[in-house]
Chains A and B, each alone.
Chain A
Amino acid sequence: MIKVENLTKSYDENIPVLDEINFTVNKGEVYGFIGKNGAGKTTTINILLSLIHKDEGTIYFDNLPIEFLDLAYKKRIGFVPDVPVFPGYLTTQEYLKQVCNIFHVSYSNIDKVLEFVSLDTKQKKISSFSRGMKQRLAIAQALIHDPDMLIMDEPMSALDPEGRKDILDIMLSLKGDKTIFYSTHILEDVEKVCDRVALIHNGKIVFEEDIDSIKSAFVNKKVYIEPSEELDRLYKLLNKNIDSTVVKKDKGVYIELKQGLTINKLLKMIIDESIELTGFKQVNASLEDIFLEVINND
């Protein structure tokens, strides 16, 4: 649906914010665009929305290149910002009517989208809304013209856990129906809703894969060992003899398997020291572990 080729952007001549990035968002998928703050996520979105110019590169929407201020393309997308700012003097209904007029769609869509986002505030002024309500309204206005694609820029970054769950539920109910480009740094949410993920770091795409592939690439890279006693002795032994991160947690230790360290070597070392074990398990890496590993290795 959307394809980005060699996208480059610099605010300062010597520091590229985006350095020839490439990615493809397929039709119908929820595409997670992850990266830490300042990685280039919002810059990418601002370029996708023609709010700022790109320096180099091409963006294709349905195989057609998008020009700056391309109105035909904008008719087919909806945008949900991280902190939506509305004209506070309007009521929900007045604002959504204005949006309907822009897209030339019927006012009857207003009730539909408000019901979808569970917002029962048609006559209320937007200035009185909470953050969560504003975020629901942002989703409502983005969906009112039934766009092919939704671009969401960290839509849950400033919400409380309850608000986050509500928005996540809305996203899950859109899954399969809309193509969603979802930028975030909350990786827990990405795992719940996304089909594929791209990690952007220092203006470059580090990887772009489906979530299961990423996880399987990183699986079995961590183990948990629980001794029957002598936790401190085990911890000291591992710290002294292996060059991996060892974290003491609960009644055992978490060890990263890297630099030639295998499970067999690890167990042999422990048995040689006659330390009795009551627990051993391989730990699947979370997206957050993967994210941190990739970023820290950079």
Chain B
Amino acid sequence: MINQLKNEFLYLLRTKKFIIFFVLFAVFGMISPLTAKYLPEILASLLGNSDIVIDFPEPDIYYGYIQFLSDLNEIVLFVIIFVGISVFIRDKTKGIYPLIFSKPIKRETYLLGKILSYAILLLMALVIGFIFFDIYILILFKDLLFLTSLQMMMLYFLYVIWILSFTLLFSVISKSYLTAALMTFGTYILFVILDIFNEFSIFKYLPNTLNKHISGIIYSTSDTTNLWITILITVGMILIFIYLSIVQFNKQDIIND
């Protein structure tokens, strides 16, 4: 496993994915607090002397956190998924499989190496992003909710790993990048739709409700019991998706004639 991880890290390093994600998270770590602080002023100056009046609330530190969460979900998440599919499916679509799997490599070690290395990269990038975010929050709002930042980071990381776990499964099942992407986003959308019906008890613990819990943590309104149940369900679903990926990969014909 250590060798597999070393190989994967070398791949992520050489293909500049480390730099891409470090820069991406750092940029959003800076932009989000700036947007939260100055967007009302920017919009007000853009409206100028027009008759339109928009009443913006005074930006506060909480809005900074919500803005960062929103940016992570609306932009960064899609980059994570697109790059993730590429990381997981590249060897298959490039035709590298025969040289890899003609050697004594356990298929589960290969898959675990893929997702683990990518998860470590994302965790490191998240830490960098949150360091930049906290510094900018402190500078702009003269305050810092360090524990909230930490909880937010860990929960968002869990959320991302959950998405990557089914991305891995669909990358194993699919023969092409496009199919894997369609299946992944289809599943993502399905969970978003299920979230609409969250008054049904089973749906309110689905992993995608982690975002609501993060908002709850920011405003100190989170239900701790529900959060822990959601975390357990998310971890369970991650393990199930990874297990299914391994089972599927182990019985698969990996060359298609």
Contact = CB atoms under 8 A, between A and B. Distances in A.
- Do the two chains bind? yes
Main secondary structure of the interface of A (DSSP, over half): mixed
A183 interface: no
Nearest to A70: B104
Interface-centre pick from A69, A71, A83 (highest chain B CB count, 10 A): A69
Contacts of A213: none
Interface in B73-99: 94-99
Contact of A69 (B3, B97, B99, B250): B250
B142 interface: no
Interface stretch (A26-34, A41-49, A114-122, A275-283): A41-49
Contact of A51 (B14, B94, B97): B97
Interface residues of A, number: 34
A186 interface: no
A49 B257 contact: no
A49 B104 contact: no
Contacts of B253: 51-53
Nearest to B98: A81
A99 B103 contact: yes
Interface in A118-159: 138, 141, 151
A84 B130 CA distance: 43
B255 A46 contact: yes
Given A52-B253, A52-B254, A94-B10, A74 B102 contact: yes
B10 A90 contact: yes
Interface residues on B, range: 20 to 34
B20 to A, nearest CB: 14
A94 B11 CA distance: 11
A89 interface: yes
Interface string A85-128: 11101100010001101110000000000000000000000000
Interface in B56-84: none
Contacts of A22: none
A21 B99 CA distance: 25
Contacts of A101: 3, 6
A79 B98 contact: yes
Given A52-B253, A89-B14, A98-B7, A71 B95 contact: no
Given A43-B257, A101-B3, A89 B11 contact: yes
Interface string B98-119: 1101111111000000000000
Contact of B14 (A17, A75, A90, A151): A90
A71 B106 contact: yes
A103 B11 contact: no
Contacts of B104: 71-72, 74-75, 102-103
Interface in B231-251: 250
Interface string B1-33: 001001100110011000000000000000000
Nearest to B250: A69
A50 interface: yes
Nearest to B3: A101
A52 B255 contact: yes
Given A11-B257, A51-B254, A87 B96 contact: yes
B62 to A, nearest CB: 44
Interface string A58-89: 00000000000101101101010101111101
A81 B101 CA distance: 12
B255 A86 contact: no
B96 A51 contact: no
Nearest to B97: A51
A83 to B, nearest CB: 8
Given A43-B257, A69-B250, A98-B7, A103 B103 contact: yes
Contacts of A90: 10, 14
A51 B101 contact: yes
B107 A69 contact: yes
Contacts of B106: 69, 71
Contacts of A98: 3, 7
Nearest to B106: A71
16 contacts: A42-B257, A51-B98, A51-B254, A69-B107, A71-B104, A72-B104, A74-B102, A79-B103, A81-B98, A81-B99, A85-B99, A86-B96, A90-B10, A90-B14, A102-B3, A102-B104
Given A46-B257, A74-B102, A86-B96, 12 more contacts: A51-B97, A51-B98, A51-B102, A52-B254, A69-B250, A79-B98, A84-B99, A86-B99, A89-B11, A89-B14, A94-B10, A98-B7
Q: Which 10 A-B pairs have the closest CB atoms?
A: A79-B102, A89-B14, A52-B253, A71-B104, A74-B104, A85-B95, A101-B3, A49-B102, A51-B255, A75-B104
